[in-house]
Amino acid sequence: MRGIERLLKKNPNILSIEPEEILQKKGRKTLYGDKITSDFDKLNEIAREFVRKASEIPHWRMKYLEKIYSMGIRTADEFSVTLDEVERLFNEVMFRYVRGGLFGAFITGMYSSIIKRDETIHLDLSNYFSVSGIGYRHSKGCVEIRGDRAYYLGAEAEGGEITVRGNTGNYLGKENGGCRITVYGNTRNWTGKKMKDGFILIKGNAGDILGEKMSGGEIVVEGNAGYWVGDDMTGGIIRIKGDFFLSEDIRGGEIYRWEGRWVRI
């Protein structure tokens, strides 16, 4: 409601409605809701508000991920958004104001309290240079992502599903605590770092340092992986069908290679 009050102060005539006969003379018949829409675009106001608030903090630094996520939660409540509006905000509006950074955590915060377990939000990355923080602390429902350049995807996720039709950047599923993540493409470095639970399936290749400090959950790579697989790993399972190079500092867990069947190393 605070957002609506602020809008009314900025646009005192937003609720004025012209008489029906005047509208007809102008060649347009409209409903009350159409008048509101034509005078004010809530999604653009949200984008501008994010840019204003983000300018006050180093919004590209990972230590501010939680703060940006919380900003999204508050914004969703303040503007009473729907899941469809969050989807449109990302796909149709936000790229006009910001092209990279941690605003993925902001979007995740916005949908986190709205999405239901059987619902899916679709996010298209094609208009962005990079997006970090999508799926941060994701707990329910499904996020379906199309495109490349998603970094810190599914960090500290707690449940639900994330599907990517494209490639991802570094730190996919960092500290994953229960989410199922599927990537129909390649991932870069540090996938599954400090992973505690959940499942990560990579249909392509993985980069270096796969499963570093992993303590639980399972990672499956259908292609190749890089160097230092399982570095400082204490638990969990890693399965790789292609070529890879093990770390010399594996302290626990299980690692399998494909030889017509899964063979533990």
Mean pLDDT of 98-116: 93
AA identity, residue 209: I
User: pLDDT band for position 264 (50/70/90)?
Assistant: very high
Cβ neighbours around 143 below 10 Å, total: 25
pLDDT tens-place string over residues 234-257: 999 999 999 999 999 999 999 999
- The answer, yes or no, to whether residue 216 has pLDDT greater than 80, is yes
The two structure tokens encoding residue 161: 């599903």
Q: In what order do the strands lie in the sheet with 218-221?
A: 120-124, 142-146, 161-165, 177-183, 197-202, 218-221, 237-240, 254-258, 262-264
pTM of the model: 0.84
d(CA 25, CA 192): 63
pLDDT at 9: 52
d(CA 132, CA 125): 11
Strands 150-151 and 131-132 come out as: parallel
pLDDT tens-place string over residues 58-101: 655 667 899 999 999 999 999 999 999 999 999 999 999 998 88
- Beta-strand ranges (E) seen in the chain are 120-124, 131-132, 142-146, 150-151, 161-165, 177-183, 197-202, 218-221, 237-240, 254-258, 262-264
d(CA 182, CA 11): 45
Mean pLDDT of 138-149: 97
- The span from the first CA to the last CA of the chain, in angstroms, equals 58
DSSP helix/strand/coil, 198:
strand
d(CA 99, CA 137): 22
- The answer, yes or no, to whether residue 163 has pLDDT greater than 70, is yes
- The answer, yes or no, to whether residue 110 has pLDDT greater than 80, is yes
- The answer, yes or no, to whether residue 15 has pLDDT greater than 90, is no
32-36, 57-61, 80-84, 202-206: least confidently modelled range: 32-36
Which CATH code, of 2.40.360, 2.160.20, 2.60.40, 3.40.5, is assigned to 35-264?
Answer: 2.160.20
- The answer, yes or no, to whether residue 38 has pLDDT greater than 70, is no
CB neighbours of 9 closer than 8 A, spacing ≥ 6?
none
What is the per-residue DSSP string for 150-163? Answer: EESTTTT--SSEEE
- The answer, yes or no, to whether residue 19 has pLDDT greater than 80, is no
pLDDT at 59: 54
pLDDT at 55: 80
pLDDT at 22: 39
d(CA 224, CA 206): 6
Mean pLDDT of 120-148: 97
- Cross-strand pairs, 84: none
